[in-house]
Amino acid sequence: MDMEVEEAGMAEPTLDDLESLPRGGFRCRLCHVTVANKPSLDDHLRGKKHQRLESLRSIRQDQELRSVFVSGFPKGTPASELSDYFEAYGEVVNVVMDKDKGVYAIVELQDREVLEKVLAQPQHSLGGQKLRVKPREKKDFKYTPPRKQGSAKREQLSPEKLAQELCQADDVDAQMTRMVQLFEFSEGERRLRDLLVTLFQEVFLEFFPGSAILPFGSSVNGFDVSGCDLDLFLELEKTKKFQASAKSAPGPPAEDEPDSHSEDSILSDIDLASATVPEVLELVATVLRKCVPGVHHVQVVPNARRPVVKFCHKDSGLRGDISIDNKLALRNTRFLQLCTEIDERVRPLVYVVRHWAKQQALAGNPFGGGPLLNNYALTLLVLFFLQTRSPPVLPTVARLKELSEDEEQTVVEGWDCSFPKDSTQLEPSGNKENLCALLADFFRIFGDYDFPGCLISLQEGQPLPLPSVLQSEVGSKLKLGPFNLQDPFELSHNVAANVNEKTALRFQRCCQAASKYCRSLQYQRKSSKGKIWGLVRLFQPGTAEAEVPVAAEFVINLPLTLAVLPAETHELLCQARDFQLRCFQKVCAGIAFILQDVLKCSCLEAQQGSEEERQAVPEGKQGEQQTEAKAGPLSAGCKRSLDEEEADSSSPSSKRPRTDTLVPEGESMTWDCATWHKVWLGRRRVRRQLRGPQPDQQQAAGSLELEAKVSEAISQQEGGGKPADPLFHFSVCARVRADAFVKQDMRISLCFEPAPEQAAAFQEFFHFLQGFLPRAVEQHLAREA
Ligand code: ATP
Ligand code: MG
């Protein structure tokens, strides 16, 4: 340990250095470091960087107290002359001249005593000119990370500077185009990246004959942001071929073939055709470490969805990835680029939405991995939005395929990725909406979107209902969740599969808040009084956090495929009311089963007659008595109190909702429910624990028995049994929708109403239900059938 750090070990962190962030994070103002939680904060505070900066700060503060600010000397006076002059009062430790113009100097003296002597002198003069000598201003210690030599990165754009720049624009459209100019690469940065790619190319060609290094991602897809990572693809197809042919025909290589089997070729250590991806990446990492000048922090990440080698370029500070099996990314990069060429509104919209999402902590995954949207997914969402305008701003992917010529047909990893090469072949969009209105509509639409209930398809340019998706071949492979966004080409890939319920919910809430703001004059018009306006307020973090949508509508649409019901001639029976009612009845039984048996909620049919009256009705006649309870405040339609229900628990069958024997009058059914445990939290982890390391086939993902056990385990963790009070009450009303029986689908809407004042508590559970309930009900019905 060096002296500086040892000394620093005694320094105390000051509270002013620390800032608490929402969601348990912290920011160390001294080091400009953000950490996710308290243990990481403690690590940081004990770490080298923080300790060193603390020490540096105390040294600087001490220096400040012993230094004077001197000006008034003749231009060109050397530091030594100033030093000599002040030596008359005591020892001078250092003189720092103003580098720029040489008009002032900081003179550091031996100690406070000398300083006081200097300041006590009423007048100082040097070379016949009067000197001004004063104590140094007390400045806050500010750490500026050392500027990387040769860095072509733009100066970090501070939020204040951004706000200032944007407020100067004339209208929101001008603000949006300005965003692009402020964030995109400078000429220097683009050149630097090109040079780096060339350097990599040269080195890799030496070791992997015939290989190519191809940049993809935001460096080249039209959505470049200064400082973004450098994504590289190492194409080894030709190298593999060379190696194979060299093996089958030993002897010197043909003239046009590189020598891939000589003694010193790295390829003599590996057979590319049979080596695993991590093995090849290890080799790539070795080449990077040993042979590419200026590259450090090389690390293989073998377990990512697309394994990569990470690296950092020392001089520029650029970070990057090299992958070897990511050809689809090359193609989707070109697709994004094509979209920016098709319409000039694409870039400003994407830049603004990305920056907004980053400010609201919805995108970016700052702590690596994580449940946020990534920039690729967010960009696809904007492109999808532009496909759905009327008339569309962008064509659908299917339409682009139709427009592509024979020679443009491209299939990658079995997926059709054909689209025209040249955007000028395409007709410009007839859509004339301006950026300001498009952005407002983006927020309006996604503030009220059924993310868990559909699959957003750029291929089709429309949301696809989940039941029909699940029936399709790709659907069964899609990892569905609370946010379903289909890759435009790799159709079985949900690019937002990592997004959790909480983020999906926050995304929606933030869109709602942004949409509300976009309706205000503050958004639409430049302030004449110099106040912030337009995009600036949109970028302030956390604006949606405080707002709980009390009046939000809690509706889940249950689109069900009739195929899950008994196999009868659906087309014919769809017309018959009897059949429709039977279907509805079965679905209602399913809903009650999931809420009560799988999610351990209390769930009771709401009805107007008393429990005694209901009990007195002969079996089979109960349906006639059943009336729809108004989905009003909780328990309005429920005569049994929860206490009574508790008391009944000895005879569980008596409190089971009898949806299986009742035909609802009209086509709606209401239950009064209560939730006792946070069964929506940590399900994935509990599920993994219950399944054990080797999941048995019968307990495959999604089995309802397993889901019931998961809920049970969560309630046990929370102390088991029913606490004195439920977490919240709510009512659910299932209604057959007007367009209920369309072709093979049946649509039922579930309207949830939390008890007054409990909307905020209910929100998280509801969001979980949005993803869970439709699938669980469908599974239950399939099993019953
Ligand atoms: P930035 O680096 O600025 O966040 P990016 O577009 O480069 O933006 P990366 O996460 O670096 O995003 O990904 C690089 C590229 O890899 C993307 O542009 C896209 O082509 C592809 N990609 C990233 N994530 C996915 C994904 N989930 N599914 C499919 N392709 C993806
Ligand atoms: Mg990238």
Ligand 1 atom, smallest distance to 218 CA? 7
pLDDT at 746 over 80: no
What atom of ligand 1 comes closest to residue 219's alpha carbon? 7
Q: Name residues whose C-beta falls within 8 Å of residue 486's C-beta, 6 or more positions apart in sequence.
A: 455, 456, 457, 458, 459, 464, 478, 493, 494, 495
319 alpha carbon to ligand 2 midpoint, in Å?
A: 9
Provide the pLDDT for residue 251.
Answer: 60
CB atoms within 10 A of CB 189: 21
Q: Report how far ligand 1's centroid is from the alpha carbon of 484 (Å).
A: 17
Ligand 1 pocket, Cβ-based, cut-off 6 angstroms? 216-218, 221, 225, 228-229, 231, 329, 332-333, 374-376, 487, 493, 495
Q: Which ligand is nearest to the CA of 329?
A: 1
Ligand 2 centroid to residue 73 C-alpha, Å: 53
CA separation for the pair 247, 347 (Å, rounded): 49
Phi–psi pair at 666, nearest 5 degrees: 65, -165
Side-chain half-sphere exposure of 84, counting CA atoms within 13 A: 8
Mean pLDDT of 665-689: 85
Q: How confident is the model at residue 738 (pLDDT cuts 50, 70, 90)?
A: low
**CB of 732 closer than 8 Å to CB of 517:** no
Q: Which ligand is nearest to the CA of 217?
A: 1
34 or 390, greater pLDDT: 390
Nearest CA to ligand 1 atom 4: 375
| Residue 261 scores a pLDDT above 70 | no
Task: Choose the residue to mutate in 328, 331, 375, 456 for probing ligand 1, maximizing ligand atoms within 8 Å of C-beta.
Answer: 375
| CA 376 – ligand 1 centroid, Å | 5
Region label for 119, one of left (φ > 0), alpha (ψ between -120 and 50) or beta (otherwise): alpha
Check pLDDT > 50 for residue 93: yes
Q: How many residues does the chain have?
A: 785
As a whole number of Å, the CA-based R_g of the chain is: 33
Phi, psi of 393 (to 5 degrees): -85, -35
Query: Percentage of the chain surpassing pLDDT 90?
Result: 46
Q: Would you state the pLDDT for residue 605?
A: 86
Are the C-beta atoms of residues 770 and 453 closer than 8 Å to each other?
yes
CA of residue 375 to ligand 1 center, whole Å: 7
Summarised one tens digit per residue, pLDDT across range 171-225 is 999 999 999 999 999 999 999 999 999 999 989 988 898 999 999 999 999 999 9
Distance 7 CA to ligand 1 centre (A): 44
Output the residue whose Cα is nearest ligand 1's atom 23. 376
- Could you tell which of 337, 376, 413 is best to mutate to test the pocket of ligand 1, judged by most ligand atoms within 8 Å of the CB? 376
CA distance 752 to 767: 11
Tell me the C-alpha distance between 214 and 209, whole Å.
15
CA of residue 291 to ligand 2 center, whole Å: 24
How remote is the CA of residue 191 from the centroid of ligand 2, in Å?
Answer: 17
| pLDDT tens, residue by residue, 111-126 | 999 999 999 998 998 8
pLDDT the model gives residue 435: 98
Q: 184-244+269-325 domain in CATH 3.50.50.60?
A: no
Which residue minimizes the CA distance to atom 8 of ligand 1?
218
Spatial CA neighbour of 752 closest among 768, 738, 740, 776: 768
Output 702 or 408, whichever has higher pLDDT: 408
Residue 376 CA: nearest ligand 1 atom is 6
Query: How many Å apart are CA 125 and CA 103, to the nearest integer?
Result: 15
- Which of 193, 216, 231, 339 gets mutated to test ligand 1 (max ligand atoms within 8 A of its CB)? 231
* Ligand showing the shortest atom-to-Cα distance for residue 492: 1
Q: In ligand 1, which atom is closest to the CA atom of 321? A: 11
What residue type is assigned to position 651 of the chain?
S
652 phi and psi, to 5 degrees?
-55, -30
Locate the ligand 1 atom nearest the alpha carbon of residue 495 and give its number: 27
217 C-alpha to ligand 1 centroid (Å):
5
The CATH architecture that domain 344-546 belongs to is Orthogonal Bundle (1.10)
Residue 372: DSSP 8-state: S
pLDDT of residue 565: 56
Of all ligands present, the nearest one to the C-alpha of 375 is 1
Q: Which atom of ligand 1 is nearest to the CA of 498?
A: 27
Q: Relative to the CA of 329, which ligand 1 atom is closest?
A: 20
* Calpha distance 525→439 (Å, rounded): 15
pLDDT value, residue 145: 59
CA distance 44 to 167: 37
Distance 513 CA to ligand 1 centre (A): 27
Helix (H, G, I), strand (E, B) or coil at 470: helix
State in Å: Cα 227 to ligand 2 middle: 10
Smallest CA separation from ligand 1 atom 28, residue: 495
Residue nearest to atom 20 of ligand 1 (CA): 329
Any idea which ligand is nearest the CA of 488? 1
Beta bridge partners of 728: 675
| 640 confidence band (pLDDT: 50, 70, 90) | very low
User: Which pLDDT tens digit goes with each residue over 272-308?
Assistant: 889 999 999 999 999 999 888 889 999 999 888 889 9
319-323 and 230-235 beta bridge pairing: parallel
Which of the ligands is closest to the CA of residue 224? 1
Asked if 353 and 507 touch (Cβ cutoff 8 Å), the reply is: no
Query: Per-residue confidence at 631, pLDDT binned at 50, 70, 90?
Result: very low
Q: What is the mean pLDDT of residues 140-159?
A: 63
Ligand nearest to the CA of 218: 1
The 10s digit of each residue's pLDDT in 338-368 is: 999 999 999 999 999 999 999 988 997 654 5
Contacts of 80 (CB under 8 A, 6+ apart): 95
Interatomic CA distance for residues 173 and 195, integer angstroms: 35
pLDDT at 482 over 90: yes
Relative to the alpha carbon of 330, which ligand is closest? 1
Select, from the ranges 109-113, 154-158, 469-473, 778-782, the one with the highest average predicted confidence (pLDDT).
109-113
Minimum CA distance residue for ligand 1 atom 15: 217
Would the pLDDT of 466 be above 60?
Answer: yes
What is the per-residue pLDDT for 21?
Answer: 82
- Pocket-testing residue among 374, 483, 499, ligand 1, by greatest number of atoms within 8 A of Cβ: 374
CA of 215 to the centre of ligand 2 (A): 10
Confidence (pLDDT) at 22: 77
CA of 377 to the centre of ligand 1 (A): 8
Ligand 1 atom 13, closest CA:
217
Closest residue CA from atom 29 of ligand 1: 495
Closest ligand 1 atom number to CA of residue 224 = 3
Ligand nearest to the CA of 364: 1
Q: Is the peptide bond before 391 cis (omega within 30 degrees of 0)?
A: yes
Atom of ligand 1 at shortest range from CA of 364: 4
Ligand 2 centroid–CA 292 distance in Å is 21
Return the ligand 1 atom nearest residue 490 CA.
29
Q: Which CATH number fits domain 66-145: 3.30.565.10, 3.40.50.300, 3.30.70.330, 3.30.70.940?
A: 3.30.70.330
638: exposed, middle or buried (Cβ count in 10 Å: 0-12, 13-18, 19+)? buried
Residue type, 84: D
Residue 373 Cα to ligand 2 middle (Å): 13
Quote the mean pLDDT of the chain.
81
Shortest-distance atom of ligand 1 to CA 228: 3
How far apart are the CA of 509 and the centre of ligand 1, in A? 25
For residue 214, report the distance from its CA to the centre of ligand 2, in Å.
13
**Residue ranges per structural domain of the chain:** 1-65, 66-145, 184-244+269-325, 344-546, 554-646+658-676+723-784, 679-721
